[in-house]
Each structure stands twice: as structure tokens, then as C-alpha cells.
Structure 1
């Protein structure tokens, strides 16, 4: 999802957002606490290559291949950017494939064992889409094929896609307060048909304090996902961290819903929405959007080593205050979800808008006096 003016807004409104969240009951007052010093110790990724093609400035999905990378933008207005881009190992575009019709909001990529590229057209900022879609590009094909799907419980915003051991797509919602939901098609996908999906589980993310442009808001959402080449691990990412789960029996849903992840901090990436494994499975690779960055800033693929350390034991839900990047505590569950927790004083949409106005006035008064 592209957030226009994202960095300027994020930096100037952290206090306002925290205030509004506390007033609305979405987060406990401890969310106003300053992140611990441990977050500052997280190491930045090692640069691999820069993407210099101006058509790739809003990168929302990436997968590594034997020859290089496949990348997509999110719902770009420019037709030249609405393509599936194939890059070499130096991040130079070597070819692109156009969609036969206009996608809505392409947010992630996955590659099947046979080399088929799946494009997740699943973004829905306004939660208004009657259907979402997957584009399927088989090796050697000149254009992708569209498959439509519907949620069983109304629209969701989502930015992450995984394939399970059988090649079944799993859509992971973006969330907002630390709990995300998994959906899968109930039958095989068919071109020209709309396939219903079913809810297959939920994931409560560990709470961290990794520094990122969106503060605590950026640590409670999922913006991308990937599977290791051998299928034994999967990773979910937020704007701040990567959460890696072991998949010992090939059951991705069970791994996500009952496993305890290892955490790799991804500190201060401008707007990190993409993640993939290197082809040898030893590294995590990421790339950020740079559309609103200073002139001349290029998207850069970063490498983070995969850790083999055992995951830390999970702590109690709702523990007060932020914790270090390497510790694991489930964040508060998302309102209204299956089995989710509803915070006291949770506000409806109208009330939240009013609180945003109040927060804005308080913030304006605070800055005006400085």
C-alpha cells in the first residue's frame, strides 16, 4: 500500500497517533512509552544491488530466482509500472510482462515449485472490494491469467501471500494491532470463476521495539511474506521486523498459528513491504518503496542473515510497555476478529474520526507553542 507523504506524516504525527490510539482504546497507555535502547542495536541490512529502473519506485513484492529477481509495484497509476518485472542479479530489468486487464492493488509475489509466478492483487485500503484476485504467470507464458476470490466475512486489506506445500495460496491480512488472519480458497482456482475462501487461522505477532518510520503502528501489521526454497521455513514481515517460522511437517497454517517465530529486525527501512529468501535459503532479502524519498534515492535490495537460534518462549499477551527486538511477546489481538480481544472503550469509525480531530488539534497546539 502506498501511503502518500508517508515519511513526513509519520515523523510528525507519532505522538498524535499514539494519543488517538490510547483515547480510542486501541492500545494501552504503555504504547506511549519510549522504545527501549535495545531497538537501536539492530543492524541494518547489507546492500546487494540498486534498482535503477524508474518504473520500479513503488515496489510491493519481490521473489528471488536463479537468475535474479521478480518484482512488482503496488497499484501504480502509470501504465508502464503495471507490469511483472524480471531483473538480473545486478537488479537491472531484463524483461517485463503486462497484465491483460488493469489490476487493482498488487501487493505481493510467490513462486511455485514449477516456477509459476503468483501475483497477489489483494490490497484494499478502503475495505470495499467485492473480490480480490491472484494473477498466475506460468513459465514461458506471454501474459498472466486472472483468478478471483471472495472472503467469507467481508472485505479485508491484505499485503502478503504464501503457497503451502500443495501449492494452495494463503492470503494473510495486514492487520493493525498485532493479529492477522489467514484465508485460503475452498476449491481449486479456475479462470473466469470466483472462488470462495475460508478462514483457516490467525497469527498473533510478537511485540518488538524495532525502530521504523511508523513507530509502534509499523510493528503491528504484515506487509509481505515468503517461503524458503526448501519449504521448511516461512517468514512474515512488518514495517519493522521479519518473523520466521519453522515448517517441519510441511503444514504452513499450523506453523503460523501455533509456532513461535525467530525475529530478525529490519530497522528503519523507508517503507518495507517486500521480503524473499535467497536461493540458498541462508539470507532474507528485502526492498523498500522509495516513491516519496529524496530525489535520486533508489530502491536497494538488502540482505539479512537467517538466524538458526531457537525462538524465544512467548510471554503473556498485553504485557505493559515495549520490549526488546529479540524478545517475543504476543501483541494485542485485532478488534472484531475470530477469537479476537476487544479493548475497552473501542470506538466506532465515527468516534475514531472525532478522536483524530481532537488529536490533531492537541498536536497543533503543542507544536505551535514550541
Structure 2
């Protein structure tokens, strides 16, 4: 949530164009509306095989409000589950083929992005078995020991968690050792590669920067596809032999624009795998939206490492539109580079 505050300020200061917060996402259908006041800042979403949904609250100064919520088909809360101990910053959800719910407690906002400065040595995954009343915790760590902010969790065909960091050019990590439970020391993750979103131009509140930050992920119910999203777009990959990390780091994505979402972070598949579900990390009533997935080949999309998709048409006259587009790209590039340099300096200082 703190990222959104910083990005909004940056967008206003540098003049990056963004969609108004109240704009209805183009092409989306409202499935239902979450009105229960207990659900705040829903940053993770998953569809349940038997119907209904599950969401979790983002970081909140009141630990008692950080819970996992089960929703009916109409988005009404049917039950909730608390954490056995205090969660730090839950950011994503997944439901695997066995029906196990995974909560990704992997966020880590630093003072550079409006956070408290309590950088964490380990991250955590929480699991809730079908029918269980209490969660189990599984602590992990990055191989170099340097904290990162992440918001995307996917579970591959072998049941291994895959985590994608939020920064532009996100790092893709996987757990290649057995999943520990109730451990004090974090089990080391393996760096598999990188995913660099580059489909710019889709309207979102944070402009160019919003097109670059990774905020969620999901795997289709049959395991043959995986999706990673930004504030602006969804990138879907074909998955071979259940290897989700390889698909994300080497595959060619199909891009589905998610325009105008106030702060779109979560993404999930419908039980039939033919549509995406999203919800915004916002206070107050929020809607679960459904986007049909167009899987036609997109010749303008290259492999993930160098993908480039043209911006959608604008009603602005040609020369003016081109100048504005170039200006926005240059401004956004400057801000992204600046943020990258600041992050690099921060990591260098932490290593000393």
C-alpha cells in the first residue's frame, strides 16, 4: 500500500499521465462487490474450486485485522482465519491443486518507499490445509541475505513456491529444497532469472512506473499457464512440465491490458482457466473484476526479456500524441532509473 502513496506523488510531480481513480477498467465485468468493512487493502485473491473466493488483508497497523477471508459467490464474508502469530506484510495468495491456501507474507517496504524501515531477514509463507483451523508458517530467505520487496507468489507443478520481486526487472526465485515448517532460520531460495515487463501505455494511476512494477501472479487450475501482473497489464505464459519459473523467465507472454484499476495488485484465474479475476488494494468497498483472456498470438510481443508492445491509440492528434508519448517515456525512464539507483545504494549500505 505504501508503494501506491509514493508512486502517486511521483506521478503528480513528474507529470506522468494516469487514469482517474474512479475509472471503470475497460473490458472488465464486475463479478461482485466486497462491502464488509473488515476486508481492507485486499492485495491477494484466489478462486476456490467449489465456488467463492479467498482474499487477505495487506499490512495493517492493527494485527487483529490482518486475516484471511473466505467469500461466497456474492462476495459476502462466510468466515475468516487469523494468523497464529503476527504476520508482517501479506501480499499475495494461491490455492494449489490439493486445495491448500498459500499466503505470501513477502512484502518489505523500506523507508525509501514510505515504509517503517524494519527490513526483514526472512520472508514467510503461511499455509492452510483444507478443513484446518490454523495456519502453518514456512520461513524463507533470499540467497544473498539482502531484503527485497515482493508481491507475487505462484505454485508450480511440483508444489514449489515461486516468488517474483516487485522492482522493475523483477527477480524470479524458487524454493528448490523441501518446504520447512515452523523453522527459525529461513530456507534459502534459488534465483532462477528475471522477468521484465515492458508493455507500456495502458492507463493506470501510476503511469509509466505502474507498467513496470510486478504486483501479483497466479497459475491456472490445470497448471498449463501462469500469469504475472503489474498495475497496468497481465502477462500470461504457457507452462511446460509444470516449470512456472522457466516459463516466466524465458517464455513469450500474451498481454491482457487491465486499464484504469485504482490500485490493481491481485490476480487469479477463474476455475475454468478462461478468465482473470482481479481486485484493487483499496480501503472501502471494492469489486472483484473478471477479464476474458484473449490468447491470440501477439506478433508485437517479443520474449519477456525484451518485450515491447505499442501503446493503445489516443484521441490526441498524431504529432502531439507522439511528443507526449516520448515525453512520458523519457520521464518514466528517468524516474525508474533514479529509483533503481536509490535501491542499489540502499543495498550497498546494508551490506557494509
Q: 1:55 — aligned with what?
A: 38
Distance 1:305 1:316 in 2: 22
Tell me the secondary structure at the aligned position of residue 214 of structure 2. Answer: coil
Distance 2:180 2:275 in 1: 35
- Pick from 13, 34, 52: which aligns with 1:16? 13
Query: Offset at 1:76?
Result: 1.4
What is the CA deviation profile of residues 7-50 of structure 1, one whole-angstrom value per residue up to 9, with x for unaligned ones? xx72x6425346xxxxxxxxxxxxx7x79xxxx9x824111100
- 1:77–1:343 Cα change, 3 Å: closer
Q: 2:108 — aligned with what?
A: 124
- 1:348–1:71 Cα change, 3 Å: closer
Q: 1:89 — aligned with what?
A: 73
Query: Offset at 1:79?
Result: 3.5
Determine if contact 1:61/1:275 at 8 Å carries over to the other structure.
yes
Tell me the secondary structure at the aligned position of residue 148 of structure 1. Answer: strand
What is the CA deviation profile of residues 115-138 of structure 1, one whole-angstrom value per residue up to 9, with x for unaligned ones? 000100000011821000000111
- Pick from 124, 128, 134: which aligns with 1:137? 128
- Residue-pair matches, total: 311
Distance 1:237 1:76 in 2: 23
Query: Offset at 1:268?
Result: 1.1
- Does residue 308 in structure 1 map to residue 295 in structure 2? yes
Please show how residues 195-214 of structure 1 align to structure 2 within 5 Å. Answer: 195-214=187-206
Query: Offset at 1:2?
Result: 4.0
Tell me the secondary structure at the aligned position of residue 235 of structure 1. Answer: strand
Tell me the secondary structure at the aligned position of residue 106 of structure 1. Answer: coil
Distance 1:165 1:318 in 2: 23
Runs of at least 5 residues in structure 2 that lack an aligned partner in the other structure: 111-116, 314-328, 347-352
Q: 2:160 — aligned with what?
A: 168
TM-score normalised according to structure 2 size: 0.80
Determine if contact 2:251/2:303 at 8 Å carries over to the other structure.
no
What is the CA deviation profile of residues 332-352 of structure 1, one whole-angstrom value per residue up to 9, with x for unaligned ones? 9xx9xxxxxx96997446999
Runs of at least 5 residues in structure 1 that lack an aligned partner in the other structure: 19-31, 292-296, 336-341, 353-370
How well do the aligned residues superpose, as a CA RMSD in angstroms? 3.3
